[in-house]
Amino acid sequence: MGFTVDMQWIEAVMLAGVRFAIFFVIAPPFSSNAFPLRIKGMLALGLAFAVAPVATVGYVSPDTGGFIAALVLELVVGAVLGFLVMVVFSAIQSAGNLIDLFGGFTLAQGFDPQLQVNGAQFTRLFQMLALALLFASGGYQLIIGGLARTFTAIPVGAGLDLSMTLEAITDATGQMLLAALQIAGPLIVVLFLADAGLGLLTRVAPALNAFALGFPVKILLTLIFVPLMLVAMPEIVSSITKGAVDQMTGVRR
């Protein structure tokens, strides 16, 4: 009794697994250190088998040099797709950073090795809440589904169109900045009005030294209004997840 090994099928699945693996290393929520590397590798291999019927379509087994080149191209494709998702989701972290900056919390800035976030309290809080909502709402399944659909637009070993990739990265960066301002904008306006009011109070009563009250007043306003922002966070995470999936599926060969 003999066994037939389809090396072409195995190579295509391996290349698909490489794309998944590098994506999980870079893209949230899978990039968190809460996921051990062996878990990311096992998940990438399992999903590679799942997309094998699509990934193997049209794949032609190359020589050794061609396979190494295809491996490098899959590393680049996975890294670009993961970077796009990371940039889009950075909007929530950036919004927390803006709140820390204008609310006076940046003096307590530190690095969180678990979330791989460098920021103060609300930067880490927003990032942690976004990751929790991704798993609670099933948003991570949309991200994995979007990555699986990229095998139709970007076949295994085909590489990327550089112009479309740069356009997608630029568009994702613009969306990130706009979303960060939209999330943190109302509170920033409130804090700005508080600074303006304290400035007018100092002009009226210079001996009062109203600016000495600036830090506690802004911290109090931040603690009052941030819970109101957290109520809208599930809808924000849902919208950002859809934007990340659109960015991934919009990249073409």
Q: What is the pLDDT of residues 75-88, one digit of tens each?
A: 888 888 888 888 88
Query: What's the CA gap between 145 and 136, in Å, rounded?
Result: 17
User: How much is the pTM?
Assistant: 0.81
| Domain residue ranges in the chain | 7-248
Give mean pLDDT, residues 190-206.
79
pLDDT at 140 exceeding the cut of 80:
yes
Cα distances (angstroms) measured from residue 126 to each of 24, 111, 227, 230: 21, 14, 11, 9
What is the number of residues in the chain? 253
Give mean pLDDT, residues 210-224.
78
H helix count then E strand count, the chain: 9, 2
Within 13 Å, how many C-alpha atoms sit on residue 193's CB side? Answer: 8
Q: What is the pLDDT of residue 5?
A: 61
Positive or negative: CA dihedral 219, 197, 186, 228: positive
Q: What is the pLDDT of residue 211?
A: 66
Q: What is the pLDDT of residue 210?
A: 67
pLDDT at 202 exceeding the cut of 60:
yes
Q: Name the E strands within 91-227.
A: 110-112, 117-119
Give mean pLDDT, residues 170-181.
81
